[in-house]
Chain A
Amino acid sequence: GQQVMQIPQYQHVQEGEDFTTYCNSSTTLSNIQWYKQRPGGHPVFLIQLVKSGEVKKQKRLTFQFGEAKKNSSLHITATQTTDVGTYFCAGLTGGGADGLTFGKGTHLIIQP
């Protein structure tokens, strides 16, 4: 079945440093979505990428979708303590499965 791999699993950064998490799918995706989950909370949608090579920005966050639609990345510039949480990518294939396949997530820990 489809697998979505995400690295790194944990990332410690100093406040103000940049952060990147990478996502790679074993199959071509129709779209990829990114979610953020705060400790004790539920996943919250951040963005969806659909087009090959697409790049989207949300303030300090930059999302990319690879040309082959099999990989994606999330980059945060100048991290702040409010960025703490786990970032998940989730892929949707064009096949029969309708549920999202989540990566394992990257836990972002920020040291002030």
Chain B
Amino acid sequence: GAVVSQHPSRVICKSGTSVKIECRSLDFQATTMFWYRQFPKQSLMLMATSNEGSKATYEQGVEKDKFLINHASLTLSTLTVTSAHPEDSSFYICSARVSGRNTEAFFGQGTRLTVV
């Protein structure tokens, strides 16, 4: 199946700093990518839909100025957690679909963010 690569897999940062997470579709073009957040032993919460060449669509309650999403190309979307706080510590996962809306989602490996 299609491959989505997410980097880094783990990151520890200090409070107040920013962290960038990359999500790449390796063998297909993804016009749309999705960013999820997952707390321990909980479900995946959709944060935003990243559209290539346009602004991301954020879910209700997600601060767009805090979670900056850029989808500059058909194979790369980035999520930047700005001015990170300990409560931002979580597992962030991106996903992409090959085409259309009725297709399976391929997930990146996830990024474990710890803010100290």
Q: Does B106 contact A (CB under 8 A)?
A: yes
A48 contact set on B, CB distance < 8 A: 102-104
- Selected interface stretch from A12-20, A60-68, A103-111: A103-111
B1 and chain A: residue at smallest CB distance: A45
Chain A nearest CB from B31 CB (Å) reads 10
A10 and chain B: residue at smallest CB distance: B41
Chain B nearest CB from A35 CB (Å) reads 8
Contact A43 B42 (CB under 8 A): no
Chain A nearest CB from B16 CB (Å) reads 29
Count A interface residues, CB 8 Å.
Answer: 24
Contact A45 B46 (CB under 8 A): no
* Range for the number of chain B residues in contact with chain A: 20 to 34
- Cα–Cα distance between A88 and B41 once the two chains are bound (Å): 12
Contact A102 B43 (CB under 8 A): yes
Q: Does A27 contact B (CB under 8 A)?
A: no
A31 contact set on B, CB distance < 8 A: 102
Q: How many A-B residue pairs have CB under 8 A?
A: 57
Contact B43 A43 (CB under 8 A): no
Q: Does A78 contact B (CB under 8 A)?
A: no
Chain B nearest CB from A76 CB (Å) reads 20
B33 and chain A: residue at smallest CB distance: A99
- Cα–Cα distance between A31 and B42 once the two chains are bound (Å): 22
Contact A104 B110 (CB under 8 A): no
Contact A30 B107 (CB under 8 A): no
Q: Does B21 contact A (CB under 8 A)?
A: no
- Cα–Cα distance between A47 and B28 once the two chains are bound (Å): 20
B45 contact set on A, CB distance < 8 A: 102
- Cα–Cα distance between A5 and B104 once the two chains are bound (Å): 20
Q: Does B109 contact A (CB under 8 A)?
A: yes
Q: Which B residues are within 8 Å of any A CB, using their own CB?
A: 1, 32, 34, 36, 41-46, 49, 59-60, 93, 95, 101-110
